[in-house]
Structure 1
């Protein structure tokens, strides 16, 4: 890590780009000013080890002196911090700044500038907990930048303090525009863990525009939409990801179909599944055939639903499939099909079929199924 100090910045109590002068700082003797100036030049000449030794010796010598001595001691400690930073000793640099700002008589504004710089050094020294405490102290007196807000959110998230982290995320979002990359991930994670799924989903949805190569971002957004009880939104997100090529393959195709089925577009689910079975994109097995039958049933496509359930029952020879076909045909007034299916279900051990058979009308013959359906109990339309 490299730090640079300028003499003007040093004597004004500034470092790392903070240039507000300390107007009330005591005047320093000319010899002290020349010594500080010389050490600053030596530091810029990469003599960090020499500067550290001299600065710490001077700071020790001036301990316990008058106001000017104390101010000079603080500036020597700041120089020592710069030298330690040049040498890669972030913790020692932070400790010197902490000592400098604790000296009696140092202006509050200057102490705050050193505290702000110490935060970064504590982070570089892997002292995140201490950095968080210092940053919270500093932010209690300053508005801070968007970067400060994100940093505070990240530090609180590292401590699993999700509610507090979420407050800083919201503050950052309000003042800093749309987050990208790691910040967007942090925002979504923190907001979700804090229980604000809607805000987390909003962040993820905005991020999806730049997440063409990140299928996990799309899956996470869909999962959040499902958690929010918005299956239509989940289906729309998945469809968008599929059309952009981010989501692909058999599993993603099957999930696309299931989301359409759950999201209020069952006819689209059935069409996709039927096409996939014909094209061989999905296995033509009992599970997918049963899903197809349920999709046509949910879409209220009577002919296709009955045909799909009948084909499935003949293939599976499962009593439950015959029973479902019989109940559905019963509900839609397809009496001959209902009778045949229910008798087969009964022969396969489905005792419930007996009651359905008994409820078939006398002298029945298949007629206007739609009219008949309106006269049947709602249970006739239930899925398997």
Structure 2
């Protein structure tokens, strides 16, 4: 709630401005009491009427007029009419003869009311003027941060954050605001540092972990994002199927695919994730990226036997071929071809695999089939067999056709 600082004791009235007649002091104190009790429409109207009657009077009248305007502004603010209250403070502080302290106090109140009323640009300008005159008041500095952020003036907001942090008094809400401002201002290191501090004090808040991981992704540090999500998962702040899926994909993108595969296998065993084709394929891709040959080939075989898909059998065959698992390659390439995979390439790779197993007759049959299917290298392989010099045979691309995991999209930080 906006604090307006409306102390109006008669002694302070006398000290702040020229001496007022006793009946004027009594009228002000009576109206102040009515404002404190209720701030009714009649009390507000009476304050405005009193201020109007005193317009154009002497110095004491002008001071009394300013005080009545202050009371009317107080009433309008308590009724929730912030813009009207701000206008009344504007009038009060522009009356000739008002002392500097009162002007500055009403400037501060007008600025806060205009911000609360949604008059952000005007309120920020007034508040900035007040801060420059009065120094680094922590509450006012953070209010300026919020005002600049509301206007999406991220560079200016970040500068105000720097200043506010030096003034101290940064609670959890302000830390989150500061991190958000730094992030929008593309000062990622500063933002991540703040989020790291927040994680130390709010380790059970799942949104804190999500924001930190999302920020690491925007900084092009997928490994850091994966490590943060892993830490949040281990602490129990991140839970459930969606968070587990995100953890797995972050590990794939962050260069730790073996951890992704381990999480998947644990999830299968515990029934946390379904052992469907989508997750089986993800497991196979994870072990492939980790270059865990036996586990990758086993995972691709299990997937292919489940889906009977040509592409899954071909992937198994290509990987087995690239890793020198010739018998597995021959079997998988045959299955892939049966399911409609490219005959030319699968026959060609099968021929090379048969040669590696020293079965030249089977290799010749495979190369002939590859030639008939349109493989341009098949003739050269057949020629090399005819010459009895396989060592001079043409090369075949032997790189396993591995899947490169894509980085998951930025995490929702809302």
- What residue in structure 2 maps to residue 133 of structure 1? 125
| Structure 1: gaps spanning 5 or more residues | 14-24, 367-374
Return the alpha-carbon distance in structure 2 between the equivalents of residues 87 and 327 of structure 1: 75
The aligned counterpart of 1:5 is: 8
Please name the residue that 1:223 is paired with: 214
Query: Which residue of structure 2 aligns with residue 253 of structure 1?
Result: 244
CA drift of 1:89 comes to 5.5
* RMSD of Structure 2 on Structure 1 (CA): 3.4
Match of 1:364 among 357, 361, 369: 357
Q: 2:299 aligns with which of 291, 302, 308?
A: 308
Q: 1:290 to 1:69 in 2, by over 3 A?
A: same
Per-residue CA deviation, residues 259-284 of structure 1 (Å, 9 max, x unaligned), is 22222222222222122212322111
Change (3 A) 1:33 1:54: farther
**Which of 42, 53, 56 pairs up with 2:30?**
42
Contact 1:4 1:44 in 2 (8 A): no
Give SS of 1:141's match. Answer: helix
Which whole-Å CA distance do the structure 1 matches of 2:356 and 2:254 have between them? 41
- The 3-state SS of whatever aligns with 1:207 is helix
Note if contact 2:28-2:68 (Cα within 8 Å) is conserved in structure 1.
Answer: no
After superposition, residues 57-136 of structure 1 pair within 5 angstroms as: 59-65=51-57, 67=59, 69-82=61-74, 90-123=82-115, 125=117, 127-136=119-128
Q: Equivalent of 1:349, from 332, 340, 343?
A: 340
Corresponding residue number in structure 2 for 1:145? 137
Shift of 1:8: 3.4
TM-score scaled by length of structure 2: 0.74
Aligned length: 360
CA apart distance, 1:256: 2.0
**CA spacing shift, 1:365–1:277, aligned 2, 3 Å:** farther
**Aligned residues of 1:81 and 1:94 also touching (Cα < 8 A):** yes
TM-score scaled by length of structure 1: 0.79
Q: Aligned in 2, Cα 1:66/1:232: closer, same or farther, shift over 3 Å?
A: same
Structure 1 residue aligned with 2:378: none
Shift of 1:120: 3.0
* Alignment CA distance shift 1:287-1:207 (3 Å): same
SS across alignment from 1:144: coil
Q: Distance in 2 between matches of 1:202 and 1:309?
A: 41
- Give 1:239 deviation, angstroms: 1.5
- Tell me, what secondary structure is at the counterpart of 1:157? helix
SS class of match (1:163): helix
SS at match of 2:399: helix
